[in-house]
Amino acid sequence: MGDGSFDVYPVVELLADIGYTGPIGVQCYNIPGDPFIYLKKSRATWEKWKQQYACTPNKLTETEQQEGWQLLFDGKSVEQWKGVNLDSFPTSGWKVLNGNLIAKAAYGDESGNGGDILTKKKFGQFILKWDWLMETKGGNSGVKYFVQEGIGDNTAYGYGLEYQILDDNNHEWMLNGKMQPNDYHTMGALYELYPASADKRPSPLGLWNTSMIVCEGSRVEHWLNGYKIVEYDRTSDDFKEKIAQSKFRDIPDYGTFATGHILLQDHGSTVQYRNLKIKELP
């Protein structure tokens, strides 16, 4: 193959998704440096992947149970979810299939199919983690938190802070120059307010990613595939100024509520969710 880099993880993930259970090996030659250091790092990485794929999706491990984690989706029931400004779950636009909670494509029309869904329960301080897979090329979705219903004119819209989920490279805004790489509309960003780190490492389109949001005190972090990509303070002057300059400036108390719902966005793209887990913090 010559010189260059090769991302092994998507290959491992693809093999796992199709049910492959045999050995996997990677060869490389003439790498500068101490081979024993590389071997130690490689073994640690393979062990991490082994543990990850040994876990049954949508189940709490014994350690997670002891630490107080809760499942928001068990792979079968949507009992903990409802539509925005509705009392029940949408009758169309979302489905549960093979243990995944799936928003179905609606040709890019935001909330044009089943609409956004949110947890019936509100949360304050928490750690939220989940897996997601974008199917639609150029697709768009998001996970919102501290979401409020009924504070804006759009009754189909849940207003809250958003962890952006996007196929950056193929999105129409990126292709036509309306969006720049790593601006505050791209994947992992706090939508409209803070960009994600340029070092973010998303999986290729069609493969699973693992994300996490940490809300502790006034501090908030966004994580992607094991790396922190956003950090901000909800009480800072910088945060308040960014809201004042954003399209949410006229929404009362936007982003400052002490508690709110968790929301999965229907933005017209097919996106799958699983392993939705939350740990409430004191």
Do 22 and 140 belong to one domain?
no
For 104, counting Cβ atoms within 10 Å of its Cβ (0-12 exposed, 13-18 middle, 19+ buried), the class is middle
* Pair (187, 85) in one structural domain: yes
Total tally of structural domains belonging to the chain = 2
131 lies in the same domain as 237 = yes
Specify if 201 maps to a domain.
yes
Q: Are residues 73 and 122 in the same domain?
A: yes
Q: The domain spanning residue 232 has which CATH number?
A: 2.60.120.560
> pLDDT value at position 2?
54
Q: What is the mean pLDDT of each run of 10 residues along the chain (282 residues)?
A: 62 71 72 74 68 78 96 98 96 94 76 84 98 94 96 85 93 79 91 95 92 98 97 98 96 96 95 98 96
Residue 137: domain span: 62-280
What pTM did the predictor assign?
A: 0.82
Asked whether residue 1 is assigned to any structural domain, the reply reads no
20 with 85, same domain: the answer is no
Q: What is the DSSP string of the chain?
A: --SS---HHHHHHHHHHTT--S---------SS-HHHHHHHHHHHHHHHHHHHHSPTT---HHHHHHTEEES--SS--TTEEETT-SS--SSSEEEETTEEEEPP-TT-TT-SS--EEESS-BSSEEEEEEEEE-STT-EEEEEEEEESSSSS-TT--EEEEEEEE-GGG-HHHHTTSS-TTSTTSTTSBTTTBPPPTT--PPPTTS-EEEEEEEETTEEEEEETTEEEEEEETTSHHHHHHHHTSTTTTSTTTT--SSBEEEE---SS-EEEEEEEEEE--
Within-domain flag for 2: no
Same domain, 23 and 142: no
Same domain, 48 and 104: no
Residue 20 inside a domain? The answer is yes
Rounded to 5 degrees, φ, ψ at 38 are -65, -40
Residues 17 and 125 in one domain: no
> Do 217 and 155 lie in a common domain?
yes
Task: Give burial (CB, 10 Å; 0-12/13-18/19+) of 129.
Answer: middle
Cα 212 from Cα 216, distance rounded (Å): 13
- Residue 140 included in any domain: yes
**Largest pairwise CA distance in the chain:** 62
Output the pLDDT for position 109. Answer: 56
